Amino acid sequence: MSEPESLARRLQVQLGSKVSSSVEVLGETTIEVLPENLLSVARTLRDDPAWQFEQCVDVCGVDYLSYGQTEWDTTDVTSEGFSRGVEGKGAGRFDWANRPRDTAMPRRFAVVAHLLSISHNHRLRLRTFCADDDVPSVPSLVEIWPAVNWFEREAFDLFGIVFEGHPDLRRILTDYGFVGHAFRKDFPLIGNVEVRYDADKKRVIYEPVSIEPRVLVPRTIRDDSRYEQARAEREAGAK
Amino acid sequence: MEEIRNYTMNFGPQHPAAHGVLRLVLEMDGETVMRADPHIGLLHRGTEKLAESKPFNQSIGYMDRLDYVSMMCNEHAYVRAIENLMQLEIPERAQWIRTMFDEITRILNHLMWIGSNALDLGAMAVFLYSFREREELMDCYEAVSGARMHATYYRPGGVYRDLPTVMPKYKESRWHKGDDLKRFNQWREGSMLDYLEQFCADFPSKVDEYEALLTTNRIWKQRTVDIGIVPPDLAKAWGMSGPMLRGSGIAWDLRKKQPYAKYAEVDFDIPVGVNGDCYDRYLVRVEEMRQSNRIIQQCVAWLRANPGPVIVQNYKVAPPKREEMKESMEALIHHFKLFTEGYCVPAGETYAAVEAPKGEFACYLISDGANKPFRCKLRAPGFAHLSTMDTIVRGHMLSDVVAMIGTYDVVFGEIDR
């Protein structure tokens, strides 16, 4: 196996300005590219004998809405005591424009591909942020790795990310005639419609959901000094 | 000739050979498949979205239900992702237990596969025999976790409890009595490791039985030899993994190439095929069962000699002992926090892959530092495999589609997620 430390740096050197960032965390290398550079970078990664990523094992969409947001304020003490966090702003209760705090994420949707080189036995994560948050789109990798065909259909189905150049961009996992993109963070967990058999109409009908959303365990973020320390030690060790 | 035309046929979702809920829209020219369009998602439960709404530990049980014939391997990918992000050190004994149960799971999966694949292609008997051994291994699942299939046995930091010192026995009943009862219980006098040792000593002869039924069987060979050939280039380009890739002659196995748990310390071989047809994949899987048996034997030997903790002594992640909670306030608080709020995983992302029986099963986990995953993408091998269906079955006969579905080893729990 090639030295994982150098993979990120070697990629940065060879691909130069086409790569927005190239980092190695926890022994895994991640590079970020802009959508316009995606195809040329991917082709280099597949064909260049130095990389030879013959396989694209996984492509998935990520919705960064609500990244780092909590439902339960654990820093301030309230006078009402433990009024549970469902009052707060969790995923599904705000949209991108009205998100409560700015997060570190400048863009909402990303497409993450995981590449694997069988010849060199190394892996790489390739992330592309979609330029437009309303109509997210990236070029399709299907010309380079045919395996991504269904993975891109899945990301389109669940996140509404359009893959330009995909030959057959249909929904794949959700119901025929499904409305919306189920894995977006502003899509409610309980869904929008429910189905049942209507005895009078003698067919299955769709109705608005009748169940109430519940939060059993609020989403919390606690800063743990042990992780901070471990991170600081890692960084000090790296230097 | 004008009255002859192509027609479209629906295969499934209720067809017994569709292995669950696969709806395959086939465009036929006579009995030849011109185009195959698999419609999946009929079992889509949104596991990944559900995982985002729950503390990390509460999703382990969902992993069992993904590929519901290789349960613990799915759990393994998920808990490894969490462990990667938290940088947890796993006790050695827990790693050996995981290695052992991964291999038990592999045998369970391949037994299910060999039985159902043979059943699809017209050999009823293999199914009955393979379920006999499956039962014995599921008893091991039950002995460690209380559940025969959906075990939730692997936890971040180790496994939930140590192996039982007593193997549960059959009690006398209307169905189990007399000599039958004695035969059922003859391996169960000692601990679970004793039981497994006897199973492993016996199992190769059982594999011989399946092979006697199939390997040189003329009908079996007619249905599988040269059917569904996957050339190595195509196998790589289409993201195949596991026996599908090895059947095409590529010696790639994560257990050897990117070892996890204790695979680097056990001795086993990777079988590879030559022609990449259904028959080669059959041979690969049969040999994998024998190799898994070898690995289990090595794990049993190690586990017998080396007692020790099976989960980290970190109460932020693993619950304290019940006795300790009776005495210690600290332990009680930890227990309460762990089961109500869970633990926060430091922000970051990781891709943890394991060699599941069907191929590379992986969990891509993004955490933003909260007590719930931010994104949990599950990479299912069957999803990538099934997407090649159209390319491979074009020009094959309808009955070969059944052979192909069998050789993909599709399970819709993982494909639809």
Candidates A60, A183, A224; nearest CB to B364: A60
Candidates B50, B370, B375; nearest CB to A219: B370
pLDDT of res. A2: 46
Q: Which residues of A touch B240 (CB under 8 A)?
A: 147
**pLDDT tens track of chain A, all 239 residues?**
444 457 777 777 777 778 888 888 888 888 889 888 889 889 888 888 888 888 899 999 998 887 877 776 665 555 555 444 455 555 555 565 565 555 567 788 999 999 999 888 889 999 999 888 888 999 999 989 998 999 999 999 999 999 999 998 889 998 888 888 989 888 888 888 898 999 999 999 999 988 887 778 888 887 777 667 766 776 776 55
| Confidence check: pLDDT of B88 > 90 | no
- Contacts of residue A93, defined as CB under 8 A and 6 or more positions apart, other chains included, come to none
Task: Calculate the alpha carbon distances from A29 to A194, B261, B350 in Å.
Answer: 42, 22, 10
Q: Does B372 touch chain A (CB under 8 A)?
A: yes
CA distance A18 to chain B (A): 23
**Structure tokens belonging to residue B151:** 């075990």
Q: Does B374 touch chain A (CB under 8 A)?
A: yes
Q: Return the residue matching tokens 């086409």.
A: A18
Give the DSSP per-residue string, B360-406: EEEEEEEE-SBSS-SEEEEE-HHHHHHTTHHHHHTTSBHHHHHHHHH
| Confidence check: pLDDT of B310 > 80 | yes
CA-closest candidate to residue B129, choices B242, B231, B210, B69: B210
pLDDT band at B82; cut points 50, 70, 90: very high
So what's the ipTM on this one?
Answer: 0.87
The answer to whether residues B90 and B158 touch, using CB atoms and an 8 Å cutoff, is yes
Most distant CA atoms of chain A, gap in Å: 73
Task: Calculate the alpha carbon distances from B384 to A20, A74, B89, B380 in Å.
Answer: 29, 42, 32, 7
Candidates B48, B84, B344; nearest CB to A222: B344
Q: What is the mean pLDDT of chain B?
A: 89
| Confidence check: pLDDT of B79 > 90 | yes
pLDDT band at B80; cut points 50, 70, 90: very high
Q: Does A114 touch chain B (CB under 8 A)?
A: yes
The answer to whether residues B401 and B24 touch, using CB atoms and an 8 Å cutoff, is yes
pLDDT of res. B207: 92
CA-closest candidate to residue A69, choices A96, A93, A100: A100
Span B361-381, mean pLDDT?
A: 91
pLDDT of res. A77: 54
Tell me the per-residue pLDDT of A68-106, one tens digit each, with 9 for 90 and over.
777 766 655 555 554 444 555 555 555 655 655 555 677
For residue B280, the one-letter residue type is D
| Confidence check: pLDDT of B254 > 80 | yes
| Confidence check: pLDDT of B71 > 50 | yes
pLDDT of res. A237: 66
Tell me the per-residue pLDDT of B139-170, one tens digit each, with 9 for 90 and over.
999 999 988 889 899 999 899 988 998 888 88
CA distance A171 to chain B (A): 9
pLDDT of res. A79: 55
pLDDT band at B357; cut points 50, 70, 90: very high
3-class secondary-structure state, position A31: strand
- The neighbouring-strand residues paired with B27 are B8, B35
pLDDT of res. B1: 55
pLDDT band at B2; cut points 50, 70, 90: low
CA-closest candidate to residue B242, choices B404, B353, B394: B353
Q: Which residues of B touch A223 (CB under 8 A)?
A: 369
Q: Which residues of B touch A60 (CB under 8 A)?
A: 364, 375, 377, 379
CA-closest candidate to residue B69, choices B16, B107, B125: B107
3-class secondary-structure state, position B282: helix
CA distance A232 to chain B (A): 13
List, as ranges, residues 86-105 from B with C-beta within 8 Å of A: 87
Distance separating alpha carbons of residues B121 and B402, to the nearest angstrom: 7
Distance separating alpha carbons of residues A120 and A143, to the nearest angstrom: 22
- What is the model's pTM? 0.88
Ranges A123-132, A207-216, B47-56, B89-98: which has the least confidence: A207-216
pLDDT of res. A83: 47
- The neighbouring-strand residues paired with A197 are A204
pLDDT of res. B373: 92
More confident residue, B64 or A16: B64
The answer to whether residues B191 and B167 touch, using CB atoms and an 8 Å cutoff, is yes
List, as ranges, residues 68-87 from A with C-beta within 8 Å of B: 68, 70
Q: Does A150 touch chain B (CB under 8 A)?
A: yes
The answer to whether residues A126 and A42 touch, using CB atoms and an 8 Å cutoff, is yes
The answer to whether residues A33 and A41 touch, using CB atoms and an 8 Å cutoff, is yes
Ranges A14-28, B245-259, B313-327: which has the least confidence: A14-28
pLDDT of res. A1: 44
The answer to whether residues A203 and A109 touch, using CB atoms and an 8 Å cutoff, is no
- Helix, strand, coil: what percent of chain A each, to 5? 25, 25, 50
| Confidence check: pLDDT of B103 > 50 | yes
Is residue A45 classed exposed, middle or buried when 0-12, 13-18 and 19+ CB atoms within 10 A define those classes?
buried
Distance separating alpha carbons of residues B183 and A30, to the nearest angstrom: 56
- Give backbone dihedrals phi and psi of A50, rounded to 5 degrees, phi first: -70, -25
| Confidence check: pLDDT of B201 > 70 | yes
CA distance A56 to chain B (A): 6
pLDDT band at B171; cut points 50, 70, 90: confident
pLDDT of res. B354: 92
Distance separating alpha carbons of residues A9 and B115, to the nearest angstrom: 49
Tell me the per-residue pLDDT of B391-403, one tens digit each, with 9 for 90 and over.
888 888 888 888 8
